[in-house]
Amino acid sequence: MIKVLIVDDIPETRDHLTKLLATEQEIDVVATAGSGEEAIRLAMEVRPDVIVMDINMPGMDGVAAAEFISQRLPTSPIIMMSVHGEAEQLRRAIAAGAREFLVKPFSADEFSTTIHSVFGKELARREQLQVVIPPTPGGQSENIEDHQVIAMFSPKGGAGRTTIATNLALAIQRETKSRVCLIDANLQFGDIGVLLNLNPKNRSMLDAVEGGEPDADIINSVVIDHSTGIRVLLAPPAPEGADLVTPAYLRKMVDQLRVNHDYVIVDLPAALTDHSLGVMDAADQIVVLSALEITTIKNVRLFLEVADQLEYDRSKIRLVINRSDTAQGIRIGDVEASIRRSIDGTIVSDGRLAVLAVNRGVPFVVSHPDSALSRDIAKLARTLAGEPAANKSTEKSAKRGLFARR
């Protein structure tokens, strides 16, 4: 049964749309809402399979409500409605996260067909991201129970995520003497190549997917052996190349590289996309990087709510404060009170050293291993390497997330 939430500010329209679906045995209108604010509240309560929402409503309109719901409840695809069919209306709907657009008036058949289509595509999207981990080259299966995928995420740009991810990968390799692979999953504007003085035009994940779905040999062939001892998979060299790296392809690369490495560090963009969610589902630990800045803290709190909705085990998420000694009136205790969780780690601020390392293409844990900044990164590395994210009894459910709930 497909659970549907209908949102329109006109009561007669809501009744009419409900009646159009009355004869559909596989569709159930579980709730209706008359405003964007009510739509958000009901969406979080009933968790509909599909939301049908008018784009023009007083107060919070459909675009604002769709943007909010798409971020907090990405499992509920949205169909936007309007009496206008202009390109600008369509553009606004798609930008807000809508999967389909209906122009009023429409028939019962068109309505139900669109709902079935959007729901079917959502199911297919989840199945695509459930990539089976392939065997190692040569056909020998390796016990990867203790291999870890660590996703680096910040819900707001400018928190220093890529710098921390790069230096963390090097620190884990040094602390554990194990096989570490660093993946740049910021597909449009990846910077790991700059931080490590590598040129993505020579070799990147784009080379693995240009011919279609990559196999294990191709994936391993495009990974670069860095002079520091870690291995690196770079993002495409230009933004347009990101279109070729589908969420399923990225997930397959992460799963394959987990087989051959003890630790896989994935630098994610500051957005909840299908790519990011697929990696987070695969991850054993998600390091959420924040700064002592009010909008970043607000976004961290929103992400934690999404993580709860995705049924991630709380121990899977590690909260880290970057530039923790530049409080600007906000203390770590204030952050913990706001997000109702304790902080797992802190990293001091040293902007001069961080910028110097970026400009030289030599990470600071290599050039200045005894600095306070490097010591904090090493401490975080020991924490992540020494404490699995979840008990083995709950690890499967923690990894599955939204893509295996049905």
Q: What is the DSSP string of 352-401?
A: HHHHHHHHHT--HHHH-TTSHHHHHHHHHHHHHHHS-SS-HHHHHHHHHG
318 and 375 both lie in a single domain: yes
Residue 178 domain-assigned (yes or no): yes
Of the candidates 128, 161, 190, which is a domain's last residue? 128
- Could you tell me if 66 and 164 lie in one domain? no
Is residue 136 included in any domain, yes or no? no
pLDDT score at 26: 94
Question: Domain for residue 207, yes or no?
Answer: yes
Do both 248 and 337 map to the same domain? yes
* Domain co-membership, 322 together with 212: yes
Mean pLDDT of 207-218: 84
Q: Is 139 among the domain residues?
A: no
CATH number reported for the structural domain that contains residue 210 in this entry: 3.40.50.300
Q: What pLDDT does 68 receive?
A: 84
Q: Is the CA virtual torsion 89, 93, 95, 100 positive or negative? A: negative
What integer is the mean pLDDT of 112-129? 84
The verdict on 385 and 286 lying in the same domain is yes
331-371: pLDDT as tens digits: 778 788 888 888 888 898 888 898 888 888 889 999 999 99
Which percentage of the chain shows pLDDT scores above 90?
A: 47
Residue 357 forms part of a structural domain: yes
Please say if the pLDDT value at position 246 is more than 50: yes
Same domain, 388 and 331: yes
Residue 384 falls inside a structural domain = yes
Q: Are residue 87 and residue 156 in the same domain, yes or no?
A: no
Residue 45 has pLDDT above 80, yes or no: yes
Same domain, residue pair 66 and 159: no
More confident residue, 393 or 26: 26
Q: Give the global pTM.
A: 0.63
In this structure, the strands spanning 285-291 and 148-153 are: parallel
Q: Does 265 lie in the same domain as 227?
A: yes
Q: Is 295 exposed, middle or buried (0-12, 13-18, 19+ CB in 10 A)?
A: exposed
In the predicted model, is pLDDT for residue 138 greater than 60? no
We report the CATH number of the domain holding residue 115 as 3.40.50.2300
Residue 156 domain-assigned? yes
Looking at the fold, whether 167 and 291 belong to one and the same domain comes out as yes
Q: Do 378 and 254 reside in the same domain of the chain?
A: yes
DSSP states of 66-110: HHHHHHH-TTS-EEEEES---HHHHHHHHHTTEEEEEESS--HHH
Average pLDDT of the segment spanning 237-259: 92
Candidate from 87-96, 255-264, 367-376 with smallest mean pLDDT: 87-96
pLDDT tops 80 at residue 400: no
**Better-scored residue on pLDDT, 294 or 138:** 294
Domain count, the chain: 2
Helix (H, G, I), strand (E, B) or coil at 351: helix
In a domain, 258, yes or no: yes
The answer to whether residues 79 and 224 belong to one domain is no
* Domain that includes residue 395, residue range: 148-404
DSSP state of 266: E
Residue 403 has pLDDT above 70, yes or no: no
* Owner of token pair 């504007």: 189
CA within 13 Å, CB half, 127: 7
Mean pLDDT of the chain, nearest integer: 85
